[in-house]
Amino acid sequence: MKNAKKPVLNIEHWSTTQGAPVYFVHTPELPMLDIRLVFQAGLCRDGHQSGLSNLTSGLLDEGTHQLSADELAQQLDTLGALYQTGVRHDSAYISLRSLTDPNFLSPSLALLKQMLSEPAFLNEPFERVKNQILMGLKEEQQEPASLAQNAFYKALYPDHPYGNSISGTLDSVKQITRADVVKFYREYYTAQNVLIALVGDITSEKAKEIAEELVQSLPTGKAAASLKTANLAPVNTQAISFSSQQTAILLGQVAINIQSADYFPLIVGNYTLGGGGMVSRLFREVREKKGLVYGIYSAFLPLWAKGPFVIKLQTRNEEAQNAINLVHEILCDFVKNGPTEAELLAAKKNIIGGFPLELAGNANIIAELVRIGFYQFPLDYLDTYRDKITAVTQAQICAAFQKHINPDQLVKVMVGKQPATPAVL
């Protein structure tokens, strides 16, 4: 009998007594522990208050009922612990990295639990962080790439929260109150709405103990409601005038949710189209042969409720329409014919060859654990990943692209110095 195949990672999975899912990988190489708590509290939960999730996340380390922001930062620094928060489309997270020596880990965990259970949301830090966000938004208005991205998502998701910007808008952030932040925190930062991932040099028993302690520091609450599926946006071309020498361009459409059966054919196919950097077809045809851009790429960004397919480039103002026309031509050909056999083999080789780097270090491992847990992938997802990449065929790529991508139904956004009468496909 053949020996069972060794797993890529020995992932342990269980639920706390309150039902929170936990994912743990033991890594004994360094005396360090990474912890990440992930909540269904991303920008998709902002509703009409764009930027609320981001502001809430940014205030979690701005003081508790016991310690000020400066005192928290000083104590974490003394312990050598690193704390971080962040917001994405579907989720918000809180991360802690600490040495595993009990003299460092125990007080670091105590601080984390305090931040989870007792955020003060005082008026002074609320106004300060809010003003910092507003200043950042004003700066974004001077950046064509930021303007293009915000306009693109708004056009791509006109009736869905994915159309929000993580930072919000000047108008929406100005209207957010401290009470709004407190309400958002109480609704989404709960034991029934959290996933915990741990990676480091501790035992399974210690990991279970830590997970229980962290969950108990949260209010019970309830799980966030399911998101409505995003619909395909109507064809939309926006030419936004901006005084610059370059035009920032985004093209795309609503594509797939993260559990789509076509995920692997689309990812492998896109590596050839525009995801493989300098070896991609878009780079070769638009950059190397025509010299229209410095860089260009395409990507699928699968999310719970259908994420986007996007092509991003920047070109000289006078070449904007020529670049868009050429990209459209390349995309049409790829949707119809897919990659060549040689391109397909090269794509598989590069994706599989880069796979080990995706798991190099605790930070990368915990990101994969979160992805598996949050999006409810099977525990053997990483074990079967390379086999699924290898199994993708040219016919599957063509079928998947033809099913999900229509080159004549793209949303297009251009930000730059526009001609008097911009041409439109």
289 with 197, same domain: the answer is: no
206 with 260, same domain: the answer is: no
Per-residue burial over 390-418, b = 16 or more CB atoms within 10 Å of its CB, e = otherwise: eebebebbbebbeebbebeebbbbbbbbe
265 with 140, same domain: the answer is: no
What pLDDT shows up at residue 5?
Answer: 75
Measured between its terminal Cα atoms, the distance across the chain in Å is 61
CA dist 367 and 362 (Å) reads 8
Domain final residue, candidates 188, 216, 244: 216
What pLDDT shows up at residue 59?
Answer: 96
CA dist 325 and 319 (Å) reads 10
Which structural domain, as residue segments, surrounds residue 121? 12-216
Question: Is 2 within a domain?
Answer: no
199 with 240, same domain: the answer is: no
Per-residue burial over 324-338, b = 16 or more CB atoms within 10 Å of its CB, e = otherwise: bebbbebbeebbeeb
Question: Is 86 within a domain?
Answer: yes
For 370-390, give the DSSP string: HHHHHTT--TTHHHHHHHHHH
CA dist 149 and 89 (Å) reads 14
Task: Provide the token pair at 110.
Answer: 């105590």
Name 209's Cβ contacts closer than 8 Å, sequence gap at least 6: none
250 with 135, same domain: the answer is: no
What pLDDT shows up at residue 280?
Answer: 94
Q: At what angle do helices 204-216 and 102-117 cross, to 10 degrees?
A: 30
Question: Is 225 within a domain?
Answer: no
Domain final residue, candidates 186, 216, 246: 216
Question: Is 1 within a domain?
Answer: no
Closest CA to 111 of 229, 217, 265: 217
356 with 258, same domain: the answer is: yes
> SS3 for 8?
coil
User: What is the number of alpha carbons within 13 Å of residue 10 lying toward its C-beta?
Assistant: 7
For the chain, 425 residues long, give each residue's pLDDT as a single digit of tens. Answer: 455 578 899 999 999 999 999 999 999 999 999 999 999 999 999 999 999 999 999 999 999 999 999 999 999 999 999 999 999 999 999 999 999 999 999 999 999 999 999 999 999 999 999 999 999 999 999 999 999 999 999 999 999 999 999 999 999 999 999 999 999 999 999 999 999 999 999 999 999 999 999 999 999 999 999 999 999 999 989 999 999 889 999 999 999 999 999 999 999 999 999 999 888 999 999 999 999 998 999 999 999 999 999 999 999 999 999 999 999 999 999 999 999 999 999 999 999 999 888 888 899 999 999 999 999 999 999 999 999 999 999 999 999 999 999 999 999 999 998 764 444 44
User: What is the number of alpha carbons within 13 Å of residue 324 lying toward its C-beta?
Assistant: 25
Question: Is 423 within a domain?
Answer: no
148 with 265, same domain: the answer is: no
Residue 370: is it exposed, middle or buried by C-beta count within 10 angstroms (0-12/13-18/19+)? buried
CA dist 67 and 69 (Å) reads 7
Question: Is 315 within a domain?
Answer: yes
Domain final residue, candidates 216, 251, 267: 216
203 with 248, same domain: the answer is: no
What pLDDT shows up at residue 396?
Answer: 98
> SS3 for 239?
strand
Q: How many domains, the chain?
A: 2
32 with 164, same domain: the answer is: yes
* Token pair 């080990």: residue: 356
- In CATH, what number is assigned to the domain containing residue 158? 3.30.830.10
240 with 212, same domain: the answer is: no
Measured at the alpha carbon of residue 183, what is the angle toward residues 180 and 188, in degrees to the nearest 5? 125
88 with 53, same domain: the answer is: yes
Question: Is 276 within a domain?
Answer: yes
User: What is the number of alpha carbons within 13 Å of residue 31 lying toward its C-beta?
Assistant: 8
Question: Is 43 within a domain?
Answer: yes
240 with 128, same domain: the answer is: no
